[in-house]
Amino acid sequence: MGSPSLVVSHVSKIVDDKKILEDISYTFYPKNIYTILGPSGSGKSSLLRLLNRLDESSSGEIIFDGQTIDSYVVCELRKKIGYLFQTPYLFEKTVKDNFLFADNTVSNSQMLELLAQVHLSQKMLESSVEKLSVGEKQRVAFARMLLTKPKILLLDEPTSALDPSITEAFEQFIQKITIKENLTTIIVTHSPEQAMRFDQTGILIADGKIAESSDIKSLLENPQSDAGKRYKARELS
Ligand SMILES: Nc1ncnc2c1ncn2[C@@H]1O[C@H](COP(=O)(O)OP(=O)(O)O)[C@@H](O)[C@H]1O
Ligand SMILES: [Mg+2]
C-alpha cells in the first residue's frame, strides 16, 4: 500500500468536560477515498477539523507526511491539507480574486480550465461571488482549494448544496483527481448512496468513536458493530 499520508493515533477531543471524540486511531493512504458516515452530532466534522488544525485535539497525535501536524506552520499545513466546508466560504469580490488569493501565479488559462473541471461557465471568472448560487460557490471554493496543490482533501458534506445532476459529475471529478494527483480524500457524507458510489473505504463514527471501518459495501450491508447495525436499520431500510 506504500507509505501512509496521514496517521491518527489515539486522538481525543474534550470540550467543556464533554468527550466529543474518544481514542480515534486510523491510518490513511494516498490514492484512496474514505467516506465518513454516522448520525448527526456523532463527531464527524469535529474529527475533520482536527486534521488540519482548525481545532486542536486534547490528546493523541496526528502525523502528516511523516511529521506531527503541530510541527507545520499552520497556513502551510492548510495548503497541503485542504478543507471544504459544508457551507462555502469565499471572499467578496470576484471568482478570479479568490483564485489569485490561493495562488497569485496562476494563469488565466489555468483558471479557465479549473472552472471547466468543476462544471462552471468560464464566463464566471470575472463574476462577483455574491451573484453566485450556493452550489456555484461550493464549486468555486473547491477549485480554489485545488490551487494550493493539497495532498489531502477534507470535504465536509461537499455536495449537500449541489443539484443531483451536478453531484455525480462532482463525485467523478473527485475520484479522478484523487488518483491522478495521488491525493488522500476524506469525505463526510450523510448519504449512504453517495458512499456506495465512491465504493471505497467507509468509516462509521458513533458517539465520538470509530464504530467500525471496512469496504463501504460490507459496512453498509453487513455491519458488525452494534452502532453499524443501528445505522443500517435507520438509514437503509
Ligand atoms: N466547539 C464546540 N463546542 C461545544 N460542543 C461542540 C463543539 N463542536 C462540536 N460540538 C459538539 O460535538 C458533537 C459532535 O459535533 P459534530 O462534529 O459537528 O457532529 P457531526 O459533524 O457528526 O454532525 C455534538 O454534540 C456537538 O454539539
Ligand atoms: Mg458535521
CATH code for the domain in which residue 37 is found: 3.40.50.300
Residue 16 lies in a domain: yes
State how far the Cα of 121 lies from the Cα of 216, in Å rounded to an integer.
34
Residue 1 lies in a domain: no
pLDDT value for 236: 52
Query: What is the b/e burial string over 41-54, where b = at least 16 CB atoms within 10 angstroms of the residue's CB?
Result: ebbbbbbbbbbbbb
Residue 77 lies in a domain: yes
Distance 52 CA to ligand 1 centre (A): 17
Query: What is the mean pLDDT of each successive set of 10 residues along the chain, which is 237 residues long?
Result: 93 96 98 97 97 97 97 96 92 94 94 93 95 92 95 95 86 95 96 95 97 97 95 73
Residue 22 lies in a domain: yes
pLDDT value for 237: 43
Residue 139 lies in a domain: yes
Residue 41 lies in a domain: yes
pLDDT value for 231: 93
Residue with the smallest CA separation from ligand 1 atom 11 is 20
Query: Is the overall model pTM greater than 0.85, yes or no?
Result: yes
Cβ(185)–Cβ(34) under 8 Å?
A: yes
Residue 140 lies in a domain: yes
Distance 110 CA to ligand 1 centre (A): 38
- Which ligand 1 atom sits closest to the C-alpha of 48? 17
State how far the Cα of 125 lies from the Cα of 99, in Å rounded to an integer.
9
DSSP state of 54: S
Domain extent at residue 23: 6-235
- How many domains does the chain fold into? 1
pLDDT value for 166: 86
pLDDT value for 16: 95
Q: Write the single-letter amino acid at 198.
A: F
Strands 32-37, 184-188: pairing is parallel
Residue 210 lies in a domain: yes
Residue with the smallest CA separation from ligand 1 atom 3 is 15
Ligand nearest to the Cα of 54, by number: 1
